[in-house]
Every structure is written in C-alpha cells, then in structure tokens.
A and B are shown apart, each in its own frame.
Chain A
Amino acid sequence: MTAEALTPALASGRKITFAMRAAHFARGNVLFVVGGCLFLLIVLGAIFAPLIAPYDPTAINFLDKLQGPGFRHLMGTNELGQDIFSQVLFGARTSLMVGVVVISLAIGIGVPIGLVAGFFGGWIDTVLMRISDVFLAFPPLLLPIAITAALGTGLFNAMVALSISWFPWYSRIVRGAVMRINSELYMSAARAMGVSAPRIMMRHALPNSMTPIIVQGSMDFGYSILAAASLSFIGIGAQPPTPEWGLMAAMSRTHFIDSWWTVTFPGMAIFVTVLAMNLVGDGVRDILDPKHQSSH
C-alpha cells in the first residue's frame, strides 16, 4: 500500500517544460521577479526614450510652463515648460549610466585590492585594508562631496567621487571571500603544483569569490543612483541641461508647493529604480546562496 502511494510521484514521468521551470522559479522568488520586471521597464524606457518621449526633453516652451499632468503632458511641465515625462525617460539613461559606471569603477578598484590583501595576508593585508578603512571613516556622502568639490562639479566627477568612496566595501567583501577560499584544498593543490600566485588569484580565488560581489553590486546599483541624484540635487553633480532626476527635483523645488508634479515624478523615478534594484539584489543573493538551493 505504501509502495503504491509513492508511485505517482515516481512513475508519472511528466516532462518538465521551460514554462514549468519558470513558473516554479517565479513562485519561489516573487519579489525578485517584480524587481526584475520594474528594472526591465526602466531599461526599456531608457533605450527607447527617443521613440517614446513626446517632446524634446530640453526644449523650452514658456507658453506651456508649469502645466499639470494631463493628456498633453503626461507628467506636466516645469517652469521652463519642459515636458517632465520626456525628461524622466531621458533621465533614466543618465541614471543607468551612473549606476553602471560607479559600480564598475568601484569593483574595478576594490576587487584587486581585496584579492591581493586576502590572498597574501600579513602586512600586505594590514596596509591595504587600513588604507581602505580611511575611506570608510567619513560619514556617507561627505567624502564624495569633498572629492567632487576638489575635482570640480559635473556628473563625471561625481561618478568618480562616488566610486572612490565606494570601493572599500568591495575590498572587504573580496578579502573575506578569498580568506575563506584560502583554506580550500584546491588552493593548496595549486600551490603545491607550483602554480604562480597571480595565476592562482585569477583562476581560483577570483572566480570563487564572485558571488558576493555580484550580490553586493546589484544592491549597490540602486544606491549609487540615489547618491548621484543627491549630489546633483545639491548642485555639484549633473549640470543643466543634462536630464537627471536629482537635478530635476532640485531645479523645481521652489515650485513644490504649487506644482507638486515637478518634484514628485523625478522623485518617484528614483524611488522605483532603487526599489527595483534592491529587490533584484535580494533575489540574486537568495539564488546564488548555496544554502538556498533546494535541489542538490
């Protein structure tokens, strides 16, 4: 009788289709799917901005200034009569670029430092990590503000400043991962075979420490957009006429009381993007975390 009870599960032999796999995955990772869809929407908006946008985002039209949201202007216009919907769309391009550049630069600086520190340990580790710690000792945003002030205002400098203040997180993550990997026998095996240190780092240590980097990178993507928008908001990031969400909010802040849409829609864009990336980051962590893998 008990043997019978088992057979349906065993003998059904149903074929697992891609759709079933996808549905199973979506059921287990609802938030990731929601975040991913939102992010996809933003990316599509950014790519097809010239096709979707009803107006030139920089075109000034004083006749239409401070129009409320409606059929002519989906999200209204600002005090220069620029179409906010078009600006938000083009702003997505700026923001996504900021996210990609800041995180890539931070990973590009932080990962090699963490890799070397974690692999060699000892005084090399101490020196490198103390240098990294210096960058973590400042209150958040104060350091980027100071660096941007020194380099000069502008979106590019703001991105560089953000990367410089962000890389130590990646150094720390990679260092921790590499120190853990150091005790794996395949590292000892490679050393015993006389494999050179750079090769061991590149072929063994780096690939096996990528998981936490990917997770952290996708989480930070949203935050870096938020931070860049903050710099633009206080006037040291993107400069007009660049369509940038933080800058848009800053330019219109005097009209917030009487024309709420001028600030609300750029702010919403930032909020949705950061939220989407957080959900994606959480999801990526859950998927890549070996403890979370149900089937093995």
Chain B
Amino acid sequence: MSDVLLDISGLHIEFPSLERTVQAVRGCDLSVFKGEVMGLVGESGSGKSMTALACLGLVPPPGRVTGSVRLDGHEVVGAPESHNRPLRGGVAAMIFQNPGKALNPFFTIGRQLTDAIAGVRRISREAAGKIAVDALSEVRIADPTQAMHKYPHQVSGGQLQRAMIAMALSCEPKLVIADEPTTALDVTIQAQVIVLLRDLARVHGLAVLFITHDLGVVGSLCDRLAVMYAGRVVESGPVDALFASPAHPYTASLLRAVPALGRGRAALTQIPGTVPNMAEPPTGCAFHPRCPQAQPRCAIDDPMGRETTDGRTVACHFPLAATANGGIAAGSPAA
C-alpha cells in the first residue's frame, strides 16, 4: 500500500553507559497507514514509549538512535532539529499519560491552547482562540468557553486529557501518537476518552498510534495491533485476527494471562519469569526463557519478523498455527 503514514524499520535505540548499554529498542519494524488506529502493546521496558518518542525525534540524550523512521515521507532519524520541529504538531501530535504535567499550572487552559495553535499555524491569537473553542467543543468538553478560562488544577483529569487531545487536534495533524493516555483515568472516564478518540479518528480520517499495556483497550479501540517485547515487534496484524488466533507464543500467553470480563473464575495461565532486563537481553529470541514452546534453536537464533497471510507479521521460529482457533483462542467467554 502506498498510503503509509508512519514507517519504522530497523529502529534501534540504545542508552550507553560505562558498565552496560541499555538496548531500549532492538530492531523495531512498524507501519501505520493513513486513517487507521494502530495499537502498540507492551509491558514496561518493551521499548514502546521510546519508539513513540523516536517518531518525533524526541529521544532524550544520551540515547543513540539508528535505523529509519519515515513520518509522512520525512526521515526523522538523524535529521537536524530544524527539520524535525515542523513535523511536531503539524504532521504528528503527541498525547501523554499525565496531562497534568504537560500543562503549565500558571496559565489558563485557553491561553495555552491559543498559544500552541497560534505558534504552530502562524495565525493571530484571535483566530487561534476561536479554533481553540471549537477544538474544546469537539472533544466534548461541556462548556468550552468557560473551560478556556480555567486553570489546569480547576478541572478533572478526564477534562485535562480532553484538553490535551484538543490541543493535539487543533493543529490538524495526520497522526496522533497517544502514550497511555487513559492509564491514569478512572474506568468510566477511560471509556469516554476511548470512544472520543475512536470517533475523532473516524471523523477526521486521523491515524492514531495508541500505546498501551492493556490489551482490552486495544480490543475496544484499534483496527490493527503490534505487540512489542524486549524492544522489538514480535507480532502485528488486524486486531480481530490476532486476538482470535495469535501466532506468537507471547501474544497467546498474554491473552490467557490477563483476566477478561465474562470469563468467570477460569484459572489464569501464568507466564513464568519476569520481563527481561534490557541491559542484558536474553540471547536468541528474547522471549525464549518464558516461552512454553521454546526449542533449543530459540536460545541461539534470533527470529526475524516475517510476513504471513493477510498483513500479519510474526517473529517466531515456531509460530502457533492460525488454524481454526486451535486451542489457543483467547478472550472468548468460557462456554
């Protein structure tokens, strides 16, 4: 397909220090198409947030980035700051987990929105103020004109996150990168924000890269999904196919290890061990010490991601057969 908006290939990010080099991302391949909602799932240390930062050239020092990130045709990796800055906001905007930290407590929400819009779009403050009110009403803030005059501490976490989404949208980006934007929110508010993002993506034809550790959120929001483990995408594909018959043992185990509503008291299949230390990632396939299907080869030979049917990729020497939900179908209610 030619309408690839974000194309990450062979991305490596490492943080060197004297004793050990932390390999945050080790060869990540990922693409996001125009107008699709892509979920990027991983646990702590999987490198999902670093990958997101790399998309906008925001990896903090002393991080070393190699490989390629093409955002709307522009190569981000290795490009000078002057080249990357216009991409932020205009082409891709970012939403973070903690909206309270992203806003300045001393200025009203309206002022910060107006400043951001006026800055990125180079228009007058009056025009920017109008756009800001529109943006706030678009994210379904009850009284946008009033909300403009409020300070960040005067509104709830859910409203703040809406304001951040409004700020991200107001510059009319093609891609929104959302890093765990609902993790800090209450369940009912999280649901509202998910539905909001889903609707906004549909209405504006916006692409969303939604980073989360929660498979459930992906199930309620995303079209496609990439699962990261130890700095690499181990499996990707359409959400329904991937949930129905996961090919990578990690995805399959994860789906059976996380409690899901409607499954009653069915025992959870636990994954042994713990997430790897990225200063000393396991040899071969990083998941092999925890993998129920691991063979001797997995400890030596690092599997590369390869394309399977219907736009799915999997990085495993012994992928689970994608036939007739053979015993690995997860997420389905018990009988």
Residues of A within 8 A of B (CB): 2-3, 5-6, 9-10, 16, 20-21, 24, 294-295
Judge whether A6 and B20 touch: CB under 8 Å.
no
Contacts A2-B67, A9-B14 known; list 5 others, CB within 8 Å: A6-B14, A16-B18, A294-B17, A295-B17, A295-B20
**B12 interface residue, CB < 8 Å from A?**
yes
Q: Is the interface of B mostly helix, strand, loop or mixed?
A: strand
**B126 interface residue, CB < 8 Å from A?**
no
Give the chain A neighbours of B21 by CB distance below 8 A. Answer: 9-10
Give the chain B neighbours of A9 by CB distance below 8 A. Answer: 14, 16, 21
Instruction: Name the CB-closest residue of A to B10.
Output: A2
**B19 interface residue, CB < 8 Å from A?**
yes
**B66 interface residue, CB < 8 Å from A?**
yes
27 contacts between A and B (CB under 8 A): A2-B10, A2-B12, A2-B27, A2-B66, A2-B67, A3-B27, A5-B12, A5-B66, A6-B12, A6-B14, A6-B23, A6-B26, A9-B14, A9-B16, A9-B21, A10-B21, A10-B23, A16-B18, A16-B19, A20-B18, A21-B18, A24-B18, A294-B17, A295-B17, A295-B18, A295-B19, A295-B20
CA–CA, A20 to B67, complex, Å?
A: 31
B206 CB, min distance to chain A CBs, angstroms: 31
Give the chain A neighbours of B20 by CB distance below 8 A. Answer: 295
A13 CB, min distance to chain B CBs, angstroms: 11
Chain B, interface size: which category?
A: 10 to 19
Q: Is the interface of A mostly helix, strand, loop or mixed?
A: helix
CA–CA, A20 to B19, complex, Å?
A: 10
A107 CB, min distance to chain B CBs, angstroms: 34
Give the chain A neighbours of B17 by CB distance below 8 A. Answer: 294-295
Give the chain A neighbours of B27 by CB distance below 8 A. Answer: 2-3
B28 CB, min distance to chain A CBs, angstroms: 11
CA–CA, A5 to B21, complex, Å?
A: 13
Give the chain A neighbours of B16 by CB distance below 8 A. Answer: 9
Give the chain A neighbours of B12 by CB distance below 8 A. Answer: 2, 5-6
Please report which residues of chain B, range 268-303, place their CB below 8 angstroms from some CB of chain A when the two chains form the complex. none
CA–CA, A2 to B21, complex, Å?
A: 16
**A-B interface, 10 closest residue pairs, ranked by CB to CB distance from nearest:** A24-B18, A2-B10, A9-B21, A295-B17, A294-B17, A2-B67, A2-B12, A16-B19, A2-B66, A6-B12
Please report which residues of chain B, range 28-83, place their CB below 8 angstroms from some CB of chain A when the two chains form the complex. 66-67
CA–CA, A6 to B20, complex, Å?
A: 13
A294 CB, min distance to chain B CBs, angstroms: 6
CA–CA, A5 to B23, complex, Å?
A: 12
CA–CA, A10 to B19, complex, Å?
A: 11
Give the chain A neighbours of B19 by CB distance below 8 A. Answer: 16, 295
Give the chain B neighbours of A3 by CB distance below 8 A. Answer: 27
CA–CA, A5 to B18, complex, Å?
A: 18
B295 CB, min distance to chain A CBs, angstroms: 22
A102 CB, min distance to chain B CBs, angstroms: 38
CA–CA, A5 to B27, complex, Å?
A: 11
B312 CB, min distance to chain A CBs, angstroms: 23
Please report which residues of chain B, range 163-217, place their CB below 8 angstroms from some CB of chain A when the two chains form the complex. none
Give the chain B neighbours of A20 by CB distance below 8 A. Answer: 18
Give the chain A neighbours of B18 by CB distance below 8 A. Answer: 16, 20-21, 24, 295
A242 CB, min distance to chain B CBs, angstroms: 47
A291 CB, min distance to chain B CBs, angstroms: 13
B253 CB, min distance to chain A CBs, angstroms: 26
B81 CB, min distance to chain A CBs, angstroms: 23
Instruction: Name the CB-closest residue of A to B26.
Output: A6
Give the chain B neighbours of A2 by CB distance below 8 A. Answer: 10, 12, 27, 66-67
Instruction: Name the CB-closest residue of B to A21.
Output: B18
CA–CA, A24 to B23, complex, Å?
A: 21
Give the chain A neighbours of B66 by CB distance below 8 A. Answer: 2, 5
Instruction: Name the CB-closest residue of A to B11.
Output: A2
A56 CB, min distance to chain B CBs, angstroms: 50
CA–CA, A10 to B27, complex, Å?
A: 14
CA–CA, A91 to B10, complex, Å?
A: 65
CA–CA, A6 to B23, complex, Å?
A: 9
Give the chain B neighbours of A10 by CB distance below 8 A. Answer: 21, 23
Give the chain B neighbours of A21 by CB distance below 8 A. Answer: 18
CA–CA, A131 to B19, complex, Å?
A: 49
A149 CB, min distance to chain B CBs, angstroms: 48
Give the chain B neighbours of A5 by CB distance below 8 A. Answer: 12, 66
CA–CA, A88 to B88, complex, Å?
A: 63
CA–CA, A10 to B286, complex, Å?
A: 15
Instruction: Name the CB-closest residue of B to A24.
Output: B18
A44 CB, min distance to chain B CBs, angstroms: 30
Instruction: Name the CB-closest residue of B to A9.
Output: B21
CA–CA, A46 to B14, complex, Å?
A: 48
Most buried by B among A16, A21, A294: A294
CA–CA, A21 to B10, complex, Å?
A: 33
